[in-house]
Amino acid sequence: MLVLSVAGCAAEPEWPCGDGASVDMIWIEDASELERFRGKRRVCGDLYLRGEVASLDALAALEVVEGALLIDATSLSSLAPLGHLRRVEGHLGITNNDALESVSLPALTSVGGEVSIVQNLGPLHVDLPALEFVGGVLLVASNPSLAEIRPMPHMISISSIQISANPALERYEIPSGLTSVGEVQIVENQALLIIEGGASLADVETMVVFENPALEVVDIAATGRISFLGIASNPALTTIAGFDEVVEMDGFVLVDNDSLSVAPGFAGVSTLVALGVSGHDALVAVDGWPNLESVDHLSVVGNPSMPPSAVSAAFEGVEVAFLKVDGNAGQPVPHVEDCPWLGDGECDEALGTGLCTSDPGDC
């Protein structure tokens, strides 16, 4: 069913949408309805493909979509006919396609909005080797058989990256050409073993790596600034490396990574607003802060294998405005009477840090 037409574009498929051209959404629910676009290099408007679309052969000449391209709940197994697609001005969405086995767009260099690859059930491979610019987020989520996200070596600009709930994904590489990004979230990928890449990354607002149960290695070659880094609830994690050239950071939180034996530091960082290390069964040392001069809030709690002397050695000579070191080796908890950490803004009862039997002001 072709619901809407687009004025001012069909007669001039080789050229941009002219002044006064109507930009509408074009709904396609059957491959036969794509025949009107055969041989055309440009579509003016939002192109929405869904339903009984099983082939994109009619779009083999397509290079530019002057709007969004949404491919949702089709019977497609491949996007191969879109091999000449270079630019999507709006959002690119590839969602809910049960038979799709590959998201391969070898010529795509630019997407003006976000890229969403979500809830595609097939044994998916994502291959966007020429992609340079994404105006919004790159979201790859809830693809149960996603096997691979291939490197994107030419990526230089993107607002954020979210890789989440892809239970078969084993490796993710942050684009090597990317210099800055607002947020990186890598969460709840059950088979993920390694996160690497980021060789040019020099400015990151937030990076979080949470709840990846098989994750063993985080090796990100970042430099410059990471405002906040959080690595938590990755029980198999043993190695955090590659941050040696980071020189500016506001906060670092390391929580509940039970196989980690040494908490990493950042040799180039001199000041921190907050540093928290807690809940690690195997942790015995904190390493790598030789140039740290001051921390506003330092909390090292609930690491039963790490002696307090290791904490003292790691932060000797550092000016600390608020210090909380408790529940580590030789420091029995909970405190039955007079919790020493009342009013610090952190719940210390059983469902919090577990340091105290009662912390009514903070819990």
Q: Give the whole-angstrom CA distance, residue 305 versus residue 93.
A: 47
Which tens digits make up the pLDDT trace of 279-334?
999 999 998 799 999 999 999 999 999 999 999 999 999 999 999 999 999 998 99
Domain assignment present for 199 = no
Q: Calculate the CA dihedral of residues 268, 260, 319, 274 and round it to 10 degrees.
A: 90
Domain assignment present for 115 = yes
Task: Specify the pLDDT at position 26.
Answer: 86
- From 135, 169, 203, the end of a domain falls on 169
Task: Specify the pLDDT at position 337.
Answer: 85
pTM (predicted TM-score) = 0.91
Read off φ and ψ for residue 263, nearest 5 degrees. Answer: -80, 125
Token output for 14: 């080789």
- From 110, 134, 169, the end of a domain falls on 169
Task: Specify the pLDDT at position 25.
Answer: 77
**Mean pLDDT, the chain, integer:** 91
Domain assignment present for 55 = yes
Q: How far is CA 33 from CA 24, 53, 54, 269, 363, in A?
A: 16, 9, 12, 59, 60
- Count of structural domains, the chain: 2
Which tens digits make up the pLDDT trace of 18-65?
433 344 678 899 888 899 889 999 998 899 999 999 999 999 999 999
Task: Specify the pLDDT at position 312.
Answer: 92
Domain assignment present for 14 = yes
Closest CA to 289 of 320, 263, 254, 321: 263
Task: Specify the pLDDT at position 5.
Answer: 35
Domain assignment present for 327 = no
Which tens digits make up the pLDDT trace of 56-98?
999 999 999 999 999 999 999 999 999 999 999 999 999 999 9
Asked if 111 contacts 135 with a C-beta cutoff of 8 angstroms, the reply is yes
Which tens digits make up the pLDDT trace of 250-273?
999 999 999 999 999 999 999 999
Token output for 26: 């074009």
Closest CA to 68 of 124, 8, 27: 27
Q: Give the whole-angstrom CA distance, residue 25 versus residue 30.
A: 16
Closest CA to 265 of 303, 302, 313: 313
Domain assignment present for 191 = no
- From 169, 185, 200, the end of a domain falls on 169
Q: How far is CA 297 from CA 115, 311, 321, in A?
A: 38, 14, 6
Least confident of 168-177, 185-194, 337-346: 337-346
Contacts 24+ apart (CB under 8 A), 170-173: 170/194, 171/195, 171/196, 172/196, 172/197, 173/149, 173/197
Domain assignment present for 145 = yes
Task: Specify the pLDDT at position 6.
Answer: 36
Domain assignment present for 308 = no
Cβ atoms within 10 Å of 217's Cβ, excluding its own:
16
Strands (E) in 310-357, as ranges, are 319-326
- Domain enclosing residue 80, as ranges: 1-169
Number of residues in the chain = 363
Contacts of 213 (CB under 8 A, 6+ apart): 190, 234, 235, 236
